[in-house]
A and B are shown apart, each in its own frame.
Chain A
Amino acid sequence: MTQGTAAGPPWDGEDRVRHHILSVLVENKAGVLARIAGLFSRRGFNIYSLAVAPTDEGERLSRITIVVDVEPASLEQVVRQLDKLVNVVAISHLSPSEAVERELLLATVAATMTERSQVIELVDVFGGEVVNVGGDQLTVMLAGPPDTLDDFEALLASFRVAGLQRTGRVALPKLGRRAARARPIPGRAG
């Protein structure tokens, strides 16, 4: 992968050790996100990105994918503190090598007639889509692995980007020949 941009994630480049993904199944109740966000700030842990949506279980549960930026020792502490939240049902820790990660990026780019084809070409190379066309702007979309999005974002910067939004990554365990490797957290009964 390429070197991360200034805004890139802290594990880009040489050291990827601090990159951890927590896939957290929570009760879909009012205030759950505040409880999790509050826990992170209260205990001094950093969230790099966070994505949340209801799962398919009748909207009773939601899955939150949190990318955290911590040492492995603190990660254990993060997980154990999270696990104490009554609304947290299950936590899986995915290391990047064991996870399929995807993220989505939307960007609105200034594109005059001369630039327009270059932007479209770039989007095509990455397998993205043009999702909206204005007089002198394009809104483009790319879904893919986060580091592909990093590359795309870096190249897009040579155009005038009027707005850019990434979703933060979602992840599930890779399906291997062996059993899925989402590691349940020890010390739990259920």
Chain B
Amino acid sequence: MQVTGAQALIKSLEMEGVEVMFGLPGGAILPVYDPILDSPIRHVLVRHEQGAGHMAEGYAMVTGRPGVAMVTSGPGATNIVTPLSNAYMDSTPLVVISGQVATASIGTDAFQECDITGVTMGITKHNWLVKDPADIPRVVAAAFHVATTGRPGPVLVDVPKDVSNATLEWYWPASEEDLDLPGYHPCRSGDPELVRRAAELLMAAERPVIYAGGGILKARAVEGLRELAERTGIPVVTTLMARGAFSDSHPLCLGMPGMHGNYTAVTAMQRADLLVALGARFDDRVTGKVDAFAPGARVVHVDVDPAELGKVRKPDVGIAGDCRLVVDELLEALDSLGLGHDPSAAGGTTGARARPGTRAASRPDLSGWWAQLHRWQQDFPLHYDRSAEGPLKPQLVVETLRDLCPEDTIVVAGVGQHQMWASQWWRFDHPYTWVNSGGAGTMGFAVPAAVGAKVGRPDRTVWAIDGDGCFQMTAQELVTASAERIPVKVAILNNAYLGMVRQWQEMFYEERYSEVYLSPDLPDYVKWAEAMGCVGIRAEAPEEVVPAIEEANAVDDRPVVVDFRTDAFEKVFPMVPAGTSNDAIQVHPDQQEALEKSRRGMA
């Protein structure tokens, strides 16, 4: 069957099971937009290509399927560079199709020409410039394969206009061998000998901590992680990318570590004698000063990307492999060491029990470690000033939202203070309910990512918790949401500042506030929301929070924006100042005295 390159491209997307893509047409991609009219694939027309990329990311993060975006050449393609970079940092599977000028014009500085494969080389897992129309089905299949296997990530396929217009004989690659990827061999299971050594370290540890990263979610290893924790009684910290990978309500969960992690999670890692890093990459926001990070800990590091092993911290046992497979192997290895499954150990915090009938596992008793962890949890919980006086606290907004929304609500955040408050104060009891920009720290991520998440999970309530600075970067995608009837909800924690930068200027630049003030009412967020076809609501006083959220939750036929006017001077605590040791963690001022007292006690 003879088809055009454009038809082959769309048909290839159909073959890959694509149900929706996000994009915006233009000259070089025009031929490909024609067969979209005849395809069952839904196309969401964005207002800016950055929105298409973040929507595809939000879609991918909640569904586990690759997000697809389509843009034209030149500025269309460069506008999606930020989402590619964001997806690369957070290992999100993304397939971006970009138009390119005709092959004969490449290199001539033609209208809307840009060397997008050159530009995105360092921020994609791989990219392709298709010069032969007959390559289209194979390259699209290879692109999906590379994006979704091993460590997931973004890929880009650049298609010149003459290639889209040319014809080819349709085919579809029958197997992986036909993809022509001789250098691509993603890791799968781990080395059994290394797994056995890891299991022995687990059995010998007195103060172990499981350091769960986003790889748990990417590998769909949530069940295995829970069993590993329950069987061993080892506490679990969940990084910013792993919120929801282990239920916050679980007694073994210590919550988020890192720069704005809670005291117990941060300090448990510092005092640990064993870190079991699963799909985590020792990001600087988690480790603080690397030389001072978890100084007494041996490290078991499991990652599907071998380059992560030893990149930042040299592991004692580094296992290259898919987290789900390696965790299962680890459970088997624990079995053979006598640490079988015992339902009564579920949630137990006094160490593991040996399976009846097997050799009793001789393991250190973890009860002393747990007693210490519980003391920290009791003495230094997350905290803010709840007194009724004064301006509305942003944390109160997050807590109220949490309590008034279904527990499987998908929460989407941008980057900054609001993101940290959302991660700290929401209770993540389900995987794939937290969508945020972790590694890249992309302001403006929340609104489009929420739209993509809602497209992927229309059955769920989707709330973006956003900052006023972030919101202004990509708010126009609410026009997309209104036009496409995608009823997302946005809570703006409007403190009239670029809040995180303001916080750093207050704490580290002697309150010299440079270019951080935005204004609470310019723009008027309610009018802006209404102009974009959304319901706009404002809440200024604490008593207005509940009614505003209830009103927003009652709307399900269009997007809603709630402008919460929050305390401009509220800071995120705890905080480990950048470049310092995690031991230098600063807690909320109300708790600082107690912390110093306890430090003196320890010294």
Residues of A within 8 A of B (CB): 26-27, 30-31, 34-35, 38-39, 42, 73, 76-77, 80-81, 83-90, 187-190
Complex contact B121–A34 (CB within 8 A): yes
Q: Which of A42, A76, A80, A88 contacts B122 (CB 8 A)?
A: A42
Contacts of B311 in A (CB 8 A): 77
Task: State the Cβ distance, A91 to closest chain B Cβ, in Å.
Answer: 10
Residues of B within 8 A of A (CB): 117-118, 121-122, 125-126, 129, 146, 181-185, 187-188, 305-307, 309-311, 314, 320
Complex contact A86–B121 (CB within 8 A): no
Complex contact A87–B310 (CB within 8 A): no
Complex contact B129–A30 (CB within 8 A): yes
Task: State the Cβ distance, B512 to closest chain A Cβ, in Å.
Answer: 33
Task: State the Cβ distance, A53 to closest chain B Cβ, in Å.
Answer: 18
In the complex, what residue of chain A is closest to B155 when comparing beta carbons?
A: A86
Complex contact B117–A85 (CB within 8 A): no
The CA-CA distance from A39 to B181 in the complex, in Å, is 19
Contacts A31-B117, A87-B126 aside, 7 further interface pairs with beta carbons under 8 A come to: A39-B122, A80-B307, A81-B307, A85-B126, A86-B146, A86-B183, A189-B188
Q: Which of A34, A42, A84, A86 contacts B181 (CB 8 A)?
A: A86
**B interface: dominant SS:** loop
Contacts of A86 in B (CB 8 A): 125-126, 146, 181, 183-184
With contacts A38-B122, A187-B320 taken as known, whether A84 is within 8 angstroms of B182 at the C-beta atoms is no
Task: State the Cβ distance, A128 to closest chain B Cβ, in Å.
Answer: 38
In the complex, what residue of chain A is closest to B123 when comparing beta carbons?
A: A42
Complex contact B306–A187 (CB within 8 A): yes
Complex contact B185–A190 (CB within 8 A): yes
Q: Which of B122, B129, B183 contacts A27 (CB 8 A)?
A: B183
With contacts A76-B310, A187-B320 taken as known, whether A84 is within 8 angstroms of B305 at the C-beta atoms is yes
Task: State the Cβ distance, B564 to closest chain A Cβ, in Å.
Answer: 40
With contacts A34-B121, A35-B121, A38-B121 taken as known, whether A80 is within 8 angstroms of B306 at the C-beta atoms is yes
8 contacts between A and B (CB under 8 A): A34-B118, A38-B121, A77-B307, A80-B307, A83-B306, A84-B125, A88-B183, A90-B183
In the complex, what residue of chain B is closest to A35 when comparing beta carbons?
A: B121
In the complex, what residue of chain B is closest to A188 when comparing beta carbons?
A: B185
In the complex, what residue of chain B is closest to A26 when comparing beta carbons?
A: B183
Q: Which of A30, A76, A81, A87 contacts B183 (CB 8 A)?
A: A87
Task: State the Cβ distance, A60 to closest chain B Cβ, in Å.
Answer: 9
Contacts of A26 in B (CB 8 A): 183
Contacts of A190 in B (CB 8 A): 182, 185
